[in-house]
Amino acid sequence: MSEKDLINACRQRDRRAQQALYDRFAPHMFGVCKRYVKTQEDAEDVLIEAFFKVLTNIEQYKGEGSFEGWIRRIVVNESLMALRKRVNFSQTLELTDIDVQVTTSVLQELVAKDILNLIDLLPIGYRTVFNLYVIEGYKHREIAQILGISINTSKSQLILSKKRLKSLLEQIRYPGIELFDIEEEEEEVEVPVKITTKP
């Protein structure tokens, strides 16, 4: 069944089509959930809630852009809602004495699976901002609104996440680590000391 036919059948509340849609997209979307919530059980709960929203709101998909991208947006939003119930992202202390920036060129050189495995080791705040900015393509202004933090806190969380990734890469002596440059940045950046919950 083509994607268009599958969508149309789901709009008619066809149970087999709904199951087929879930079977087609759930494995990949489960991986998206796991990047935000740590436990298997939490990720499964988020996935179920997300697909319930997909299926009950499928008429809102107008055929513009990727259908998988539309599903992914719902899954990410549902993951963030689950996180916000447990983590207060606004409880960060901001400092103004760090002026470094990590370039993203190394991400193009590393195998995606290796990066995703290392992201799991980051504290929850770093991991969430990194996922939203680098992988999902959100802007800092959007991340700030979503998480209820300042734009500079989003930027500094990203910087610190990349520094932590570099440290992890150095520990495992990953080939190409020398491409992970830290450059000085003229603009002053606020750096949160730590998000109050453990990773």
Mean pLDDT, to the nearest integer, of 128-132?
90
What contacts 154, CB < 8 A, 6 or more positions away?
A: 129, 133, 140, 143, 144, 147
Residue 198 in 3-state DSSP?
A: coil
> Cα angle at 162 between 156 and 166, to 5 degrees?
145
pLDDT of res. 104: 46
Percent of the chain topping pLDDT 70: 71
Torsion, Cα of 54, 57, 58, 64 (10° steps): -100
Mean pLDDT, to the nearest integer, of 146-167?
87
**CATH code, residues 3-84:** 1.10.1740.10
Convert the pLDDT of each residue in 63-113 to its tens digit: 888 999 999 999 999 998 888 777 766 554 343 433 334 444 444 445 556
Residue 41 CA: distances (Å) to CA of 25, 33, 101, 131, 196: 18, 11, 36, 20, 23
Mean pLDDT, to the nearest integer, of 115-133?
84
Residue 53 CA: distances (Å) to CA of 61, 105, 191: 12, 36, 36
What contacts 38, CB < 8 A, 6 or more positions away?
A: 120, 124, 199
Convert the pLDDT of each residue in 43-76 to its tens digit: 999 999 999 999 999 999 988 889 999 999 999 9
Our measurement of the distance from residue 49's CA atom to the centroid of its chain's CA atoms, rounded to an integer in Å, reads 17
Name the CATH code of domain 94-192 (choices 3.20.80.10, 2.170.190.11, 1.10.540.10, 1.10.10.10).
Answer: 1.10.10.10
What contacts 8, CB < 8 A, 6 or more positions away?
A: none
- Position 195 pLDDT exceeds 50: no
Residue extents of the structural domains in the chain: 3-84, 94-192
pLDDT of res. 91: 53
Model's pTM, two decimal places?
A: 0.65
